[in-house]
Amino acid sequence: MKDSVKIIIPSHPKYLSVVRNVTSKIGEIYGIDETIVNDLKLAIDEACTNIIRHAYKGDTTKRIIIRYTVNPGQYTVVLEDNGIKADKNKLKGRDLNDIKPGGLGIHFIKRVFDIFMLDEKKKKGNRLILVKYLK
Amino acid sequence: MKDSVKIIIPSHPKYLSVVRNVTSKIGEIYGIDETIVNDLKLAIDEACTNIIRHAYKGDTTKRIIIRYTVNPGQYTVVLEDNGIKADKNKLKGRDLNDIKPGGLGIHFIKRVFDIFMLDEKKKKGNRLILVKYLK
Amino acid sequence: MKTEITDFKGNKRIKITGDIDMHTSPELREVLLSIIKKSKNQCVCVDFTDVTYIDSSGIATFVEGLKAIRASGSRLFFYGLPESIMEIFRFSRLDRVFEIFRTFEDAFGI
Amino acid sequence: MKTEITDFKGNKRIKITGDIDMHTSPELREVLLSIIKKSKNQCVCVDFTDVTYIDSSGIATFVEGLKAIRASGSRLFFYGLPESIMEIFRFSRLDRVFEIFRTFEDAFGI
Ligand SMILES: Nc1ncnc2c1ncn2[C@@H]1O[C@H](COP(=O)(O)OP(=O)(O)O)[C@@H](O)[C@H]1O
Ligand SMILES: Nc1ncnc2c1ncn2[C@@H]1O[C@H](COP(=O)(O)OP(=O)(O)O)[C@@H](O)[C@H]1O
> A90 Cβ partners below 8 Å, 6+ apart?
none
C107 pLDDT band (50/70/90 cuts)? confident
Most informative mutation of B11, B52, B54 for ligand 2 (most atoms within 8 A of CB): B54
pLDDT confidence of residue C9: 87
The DSSP 8-state label assigned to residue B114 in this structure reads S
Digit-coded pLDDT (tens) for D25-82: 999 999 999 999 998 889 999 999 999 999 999 999 999 999 999 988 899 999 999 9
Which residue ranges form the domains of chain B, and what is each CATH number? Answer: 3-133 (3.30.565.10)
Q: Whose CA is nearest to atom 25 of ligand 1?
A: A103
Residue D10 pLDDT > 90: no
- Give how far the C-alpha of residue B31 lies from the chain's centroid of Cα atoms, to the nearest Å: 20
Mean pLDDT of chain C: 95
Question: Does A52 contact ligand 1 (Cβ within 6 A)?
Answer: no
Burial B2-36 (b: 16+ CB within 10 A, else e): ebbbbbbbbbbbbbbbbbbbbbbbbbebbebeeee
CA of C36 to the centre of ligand 1 (A): 29
The DSSP code sequence of B24-55 is HHHHHHTT--HHHHHHHHHHHHHHHHHIIIII
**pLDDT on residue D91:** 96
Distance from CA of B113 to the nearest CA of A (A): 22
**What pLDDT is stored for residue D50 in this prediction?**
98
pLDDT of residue C102: 95
Nearest by CB to A111, which of C19, C57, C91? C91
User: Does ligand 2 have an atom closer than 6 angstroms to the CB of B42?
Assistant: no
pLDDT in tens, A92-125: 999 999 988 899 999 999 999 999 999 999 999 9
CATH of the domain at D23: 3.30.750.24
pLDDT in tens, A4-25: 999 999 999 999 999 999 999 9
* pLDDT tens sequence for chain B (135 residues): 478 999 999 999 999 999 999 999 999 999 999 999 999 999 999 999 999 999 999 999 999 999 999 999 999 999 999 999 999 899 999 999 998 899 999 999 999 999 999 999 999 999 999 999 998
DSSP A53: I
Is there an atom of ligand 2 within 6 Å of B105 CB?
yes
Number of structural domains found in chain C: 1
Residue of D nearest to B58 (CA): D22
Phi, psi of B55 (to 5 degrees): -75, -40
What does the pLDDT read at residue C10?
A: 87
For residue A126, give the ligand nearest its CA: 1
Task: Assign C73 a pLDDT band (cuts: 50, 70, 90).
Answer: confident
- Region A76-98 average pLDDT: 94
Provide the pLDDT confidence category of residue A3 given band limits of 50, 70 and 90: confident
CA angle, B110 then B116 then B118, to 5°: 140
Average pLDDT, chain B: 96
Q: What is the pLDDT of residues B51-85, one digit of tens each?
A: 999 999 999 999 999 999 999 999 999 999 999 99
The residues, ordered by sequence, that sit 6+ positions from C94 with a Cβ below 8 Å of its Cβ are A99, C59, C63
Q: So what's the pLDDT on residue A85?
A: 96
Is residue A104 within 8 A of residue C63, CB to CB? The reply is: no
Percent of chain C at pLDDT > 70 equals 99
Q: Which domain covers residue C80, as residue numbers?
A: 2-108
- The pLDDT of C27-54, averaged and rounded, is 95
Q: Is the CB of A105 under 6 A from ligand 1?
A: yes
Q: Which of A9, A62, A82 to mutate to test the interface with B (most CBs of B within 10 A)?
A: A9
What is residue C74's predicted lDDT score, i.e. its pLDDT?
A: 92
pLDDT in tens, A27-37: 999 999 999 99
* Subunit contact A111:C59, Cβ cutoff 8 A: no
Q: What is the DSSP string of C22-52?
A: TTTHHHHHHHHHHHHHH-SS-EEEEEEEEEE
Query: pTM of the entire structure?
Result: 0.95
What is the least distance, in Å, from the CA of A128 to any CA of chain C?
Answer: 19
Region A129-134: mean pLDDT is: 98
According to the model, what pLDDT value does residue D28 have? 98
Q: Which of B16, B23, B41, B64 to mutate to test the interface with D (most CBs of D within 10 A)?
A: B16
Confidence class for position C28, pLDDT limits 50, 70, 90: very high
Rounded to two decimals, the ipTM of the complex is 0.95
Residue D39 or residue D20, greater confidence:
D20
Residues from C contacting A (CB-CB < 8 Å) are 19, 21-23, 53, 55-57, 59-61, 63-64, 67, 84, 88, 91-94, 97
Strands B126-133 and C99-101: unpaired
Q: Which whole number is the average pLDDT over C45-74?
A: 95
Q: If you measure from the C-alpha of residue B99 to the centroid of ligand 2, how many angstroms do you get, rounded to a whole number?
A: 17
DSSP 8-class letter at A57: T
Task: Kindly tell me if the per-residue pLDDT of C93 is higher than 90.
Answer: yes
What are the counts of helices (DSSP H) followed by strands (DSSP E) for chain C?
4, 5
Residue A1 in 3-state DSSP? coil
Beta bridge partners of C50: C17
